């Protein structure tokens, strides 16, 4: 028996079943972090702001990714629902999906505000100590 040309293997128990390629992409897998899609997805999620393909290409030059590869990765991620986009004429603006991020409740926010104020106080104390030490260094006459 010959394998059909446009099929992908899929195992159910011990039998091997062939699904058409059009059905196979519905089984979504997370992109590998070393692939162009994985790198682009990580970058968009880290930035968490609207980006166009040129912004992404400029920022990801260190990975030796070309703009065409980045554009393909952005389009495939948008088609897969991993990121969202809006079209403004010919320009596409890509954004991280906001439903994937945890939103802190008011109790957590209050705790973060208290922690922030404590850290600000510590910073002010250390700046004051540094300025006192610098003033002392200036007052010491050279030998």
Phi-psi region of 75 (alpha: psi -120 to 50; beta: other; left: phi over 0): alpha
SS3 for 87?
Answer: strand
Of the candidate CATH numbers 3.40.50.2000, 1.10.10.10, 3.40.50.2300, 3.40.50.150, the domain formed by 7-100 belongs to 1.10.10.10
Contact predicate 19/8, CB 8 Å: yes
Reading the chain (143 residues) residue by residue, the pLDDT tens digits are 444 444 444 444 444 444 444 443 433 445 556 789 999 999 999 999 999 999 999 999 998 999 999 999 999 999 999 999 999 999 999 999 999 888 889 999 999 999 999 999 999 999 999 998 888 777 666 66
SS3 for 15?
Answer: strand
- Whether this prediction's pTM lies above 0.85 is answered by no
SS3 for 126?
Answer: helix
Give the DSSP H/E element, type plus range, for residue 17.
Answer: strand 15-20
């Amino acid at each position: 028996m010959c394998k059909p040309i446009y099929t992908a293997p899929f195992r159910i128990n011990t039998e091997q079943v062939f699904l058409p390629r059009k059905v196979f992409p519905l089984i979504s897998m997370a992109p590998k972090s070393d692939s162009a899609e994985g790198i682009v997805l990580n970058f968009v999620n880290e930035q968490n702001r609207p980006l166009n393909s040129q912004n992404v290409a400029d920022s990801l030059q260190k990975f030796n990714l070309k703009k065409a590869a980045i554009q393909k990765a952005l389009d495939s991620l948008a088609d897969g629902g991993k990121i969202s986009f809006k079209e403004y004429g010919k320009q596409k603006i890509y954004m991280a999906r906001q439903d994937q991020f945890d939103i802190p409740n008011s109790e957590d926010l209050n705790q973060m505000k208290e922690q922030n104020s404590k850290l600000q106080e510590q910073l002010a104390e250390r700046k004051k100590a540094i300025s006192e030490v610098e003033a002392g260094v200036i007052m010491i006459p050279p030998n």
